[in-house]
Structure 1
Amino acid sequence: MKPHFRSSPLAGLLLLASLGAAGAAMAEPAPPFAALLAQAQASAPRLAEARANIARAEGLARQAGVLPNPTLEFEVENFSGSGPFRGTSLSETTARVGQTLELGGKRSARVAAGRAEIDAARAQARRVEAEYAFDLAAAYAEAEAAERRLQLARESLTLAEEDARIASALVDAGREAELRRLQAQAAVEAARAAVQAAQAARETAFGALTTLAGAPAPITSIPASLLESAAPLFPGAAPAASATTSYLAAQAEREAAARRLRVERRRAVPDVTVSIGVRRFEADDAAALVAGVSVPLPLFDQNRGNIAAARAEAAAAEARLNAARLEAESAVRTSAARSAAAESRLSAARQGESTAHEAYRLARIGYEAGRLPLAELVAARRALAEAREQTIAAAVERISAQAAIARLSVVATPGEQ
């Protein structure tokens, strides 16, 4: 007889608890932003791609300096024919070695172009690193802000429930109409919906941070606040327009394009192939040296199409450099003003939150005493929630403004948090 197993609610609870414990073990809090950025240098796919592009450019540069391979030729003539040429008694055997000599400075032009490509790849990697630091700072700040918004929504729900309790007590005491109880309950339901929306936004923000950082385990919390940090996010990140990452990358690309144009022009010069060998005469039992020179006649292919394409590419790189210069000048001019405005906005938002908190406290006292209607209390509570949201948004904007300055800089190393 087979044993019969019956599931029980206790077994289900134990299973859920074990799964929850496993999920908690796999999750981890975020380290301070500086530490997270340092860790991401080795795990972020975007940075790994930039390093791979540098390695690719280095490999192509090594290949550019390699000489053409020599050719080995073996030739047999006048054998296995008819008449006196039957067999191999009158055959002639030639062994020849040939080498192509590149003229017009082709090899040196290729080597210079390869070095320029390495410089361009490194400049692009520095630009990617700076932009990645900006994106990671923004994602870190958004995750912390989402966590704070969830806390704010929960606090608003608690306040709404307390206001509903007070309204219900006043209705029971005959001091308010039944309509006030229904209005308070509607406010509670709206606050619950806001909590659910904030929870979903929090999960989305932390998921984006985990993906961007390339973290091996999901990031679930931020113990070290970035929004409350008073120190500059990236100290010393205030470059001139000619030293921004985008401008330097465009400048390196322009140089690489100019080097590629020089390579294509050098390719139009014909190469010379020289050869030397030994020829064996079977009939005379003798041998002699053979030598030759071959030069292609540039009648049809003069590499004009590739030269025109490279010239157009160089012109496009020059245009991109001019555009990058104008954009860098504009960004440098506005970045400092944006950062100062963000600091002022945050200070004003914090003062407004303090004022709104005091206004809500007084409104609640007045409502409990019967001197203010429920609408005044609800309006004060809504104003407090909006003031707290403004403080969070201003703190996020401050971090974004500081990170935007760092995105312009070659050095994207955050300060200690």
Structure 2
Amino acid sequence: MFTSFSRPQWAVGFAVAVTAVLFALPSRAEPAPPYEALIESLDRIPITVEAEALLDAANARAQQARALPNPSVSVETENVYGRGPFSGYDAAESTFSINQPLELWGQRGARIGAAQAEAKVAALRRDQTQWTVAGSLALIYSEAEAASLQYELAVEALELTEADANAVMLLIEEGREPSLRGIQANSEVESARAAVDEARANRDAAFARLTAAAMLVQPVTAIEPSLLNRSPDASFQAMGNPLTVQIAEAELEAANKSVSVERLRARPAVSASLGVRRFQEYDTEAFTFGINVSLPLFDRNKGAISAARAEERAAAARLTTAKLQTQANRSAAQARLDASITRIRAADKGVASAEEAYQLARAGFDAGRISQLELRSIRSALISARNTAVNARLARVRAEVELAGLDGRAPF
């Protein structure tokens, strides 16, 4: 339970009983590792493995972009096996040449720059994936902890309801309450018992989600240390350029470089050749030189250039949207985080007041000054206040997860 919840002696007794029951259960698995340990093992999560693999692929493409075009080798023989003086091989002219494509007008540099820009985008997306997974683990971890706490609260609520029902039965036996009150008390006990079963199912489901999300070998049965009680670092300074905006800027840069690549592809393809020609008739050789230039008469790459420019405009629009939304989302997340902190303080005070009120109401009920209906209402208020305190802490975790995702960091 939260250490900020002040409990009277009777509540402490119930808590001890609940703890004894929990520890008496057979241990089926180890508790969940601390949140920090889960963060350190992010590289095992499939989605982060995928992001890392995509980054490796982008880096490999950037490395491949530096490679020069391969030369081609040709062997050609002329003036052979014809008629007259060319009937045999004596008048043959054989040419051996090497042809090397030339990347002029900065084509190679543009190709390298585009590949490097794509690798930068992949690196930023890898970082974003890591922080997203870290935030998801924090949320699942805290939800499992909250479900465990709510189960313990449901067990304590059942204990309180049974204790109140026993008190009602004593009053009925003494003739101070009608038998109808006993039926109502038993109905409340059954309702509280059903709430315990539901809370247990929710807890087991949350533990299963955590086991799957963290890829743990053994299923968990407990959460420690607490993440719900941890306060975000108030001294953290948000980065000047959020990660979402950085990704949008990198995508725009990559789109710009892609336009340059497509524009240069419309230029003529130039290749140079160097060879040796063998004159069989004169038993001698001579060098050959050549330049081959393509004529862009039919294919000027206009469609690819238009597509690249359209993608550039789309990237620019995404950048504008990212700048507007990120600032607004961060302000909203910070406001929700501040509100959740205030809500936690109010909820803790509400729990203390509700526990004191219930203690006085129970004493008044035993003395015959408080009706069963009033006692039930005050007990319900206590149960609600305790659950509200848990939900307030869970809301703080959610706000911190959202804020950390916008800032490009792990929560807490």
Q: Could you state the TM-score of these two structures normalised by the residue count of structure 1?
A: 0.86
Letter in 2 for 1:30: A
Other-structure match for 2:158: 157
| SS of residue matched to 1:338 | helix
The CA distance in 2 between the partners of 1:350 and 1:413, in whole Å, is 23
5 Å-filtered alignment, 1:183-194, equals 183-194=184-195
Query: Does structure 1 retain, via aligned residues, the 8 Å contact 2:138–2:411?
Result: no
CA distance in 2, matches of 1:45, 1:335: 28
CA shift at 1:214, angstroms?
2.9
Give, in whole Å, the separation in 1 of the partners of 2:277 and 2:238: 70
My pick for the range that moved more, 167-176 or 278-287, is: 278-287
Task: Give the corresponding residue for 2:304.
Answer: 306
- In 2, the alpha carbon distance for the partners of 1:172 and 1:83 equals 137
SS in 1 for 2:169: helix
Structure 1 residue 313 displacement after superposition: 0.7
1:321 to 319, 322, 336: 319
| CA distance, structure 1, for counterparts of residue 234 and residue 288 of structure 2 | 72
Tell me how many residue pairs correspond in the alignment: 388
| Separation of aligned partners in 2, 1:329 and 1:367 | 55
Q: Secondary structure at the match of 1:243?
A: coil
1:86: how far off?
5.3
Q: CA deviation at 1:161?
A: 1.8
Q: How does 1:325-344 map to 2 (within 5 A)?
A: 325-344=323-342
Given that 1:93 and 1:279 are in contact with CA atoms closer than 8 Å, whether structure 2 keeps it comes out as yes
- Aligned partner of residue 69 in structure 1, secondary structure: coil
2:248 equivalent to 1:250: yes
Counterpart contact for 1:130–1:409, Cα < 8 Å = no
| Contact residue 254 and residue 318 of structure 1 kept, 8 A | yes
Shift of 1:127: 2.1
- Kept in 2: contact 1:363–1:377 (CA 8 A): yes
* CA shift digits 1:261-280 (9 cap, x unpaired): 11111111112111122233
The answer (yes or no) to whether the contact 1:206–1:219 under 8 Å persists in 2 is yes
Which residue matches 2:34? 32
Kept in 2: contact 1:237–1:412 (CA 8 A)? no
Compared CA separation, residues 87 and 190, structure 1 to 2 (3 A): farther
Partners in 2 of 1:244 and 1:342 — Cα distance? 23
CA distance in structure 1 between the aligned counterparts of 2:367 and 2:411, rounded to whole angstroms: 56
| Distance across 1 between alignment mates of 2:77 and 2:201 | 81
- After TM superposition, give the deviation of residue 85 of structure 1 in Å: 5.2
Unpaired segments of 5 or more residues in structure 2? 1-24
Which residue is equivalent to 1:17? none
Cα deviation 1:4-25 (Å, max 9, x = unaligned): xxxxxxxxxxxxxxxx98x82x
Quick check: 2:271–2:292 contact (8 Å CA) kept in 1?
A: yes
Distance 2:209 2:87 in 1: 82
Does the Cα contact within 8 Å between 1:154 and 1:195 map onto a contact in 2?
A: yes
- Structure 1: state its 5+ residue gaps: 1-19
State the superposition RMSD in angstroms.
Answer: 2.2
Partner amino acid, structure 1, of 2:183 = L
Alpha-carbon distance, 1:89 to partner: 4.1
Aligned pairs for 1:200-279 (under 5 A) are 200-229=201-230, 231-232=231-232, 234=233, 236-239=235-238, 242-279=240-277
Q: Kindly indicate whether the alpha-carbon contact (under 8 Å) linking 1:130 and 1:408 is maintained by their aligned counterparts in 2.
A: no
TM-score (ref. length: structure 2): 0.87
User: How big is the shift at 1:81?
Assistant: 5.4
Query: In structure 1, the residue corresponding to 2:203 is in which secondary structure?
Result: helix
Give the Å deviation of 1:281.
3.4
| Contact kept? 2:275, 2:287, Cα under 8 Å | yes
Which secondary structure state, in structure 2, belongs to the residue aligned with residue 340 of structure 1?
helix
8 Å Cα contact 1:253/1:317 also seen in 2: yes
- Secondary structure of 2:182 counterpart: helix
Q: Aligned to 1:186, what secondary structure does the other structure show? A: helix
Moved more, 58-67 or 337-346: 337-346
2:84 and 2:165 map into 1 onto residues whose CA distance is 121
Structure 1 residue 92: deviation in Å? 3.5
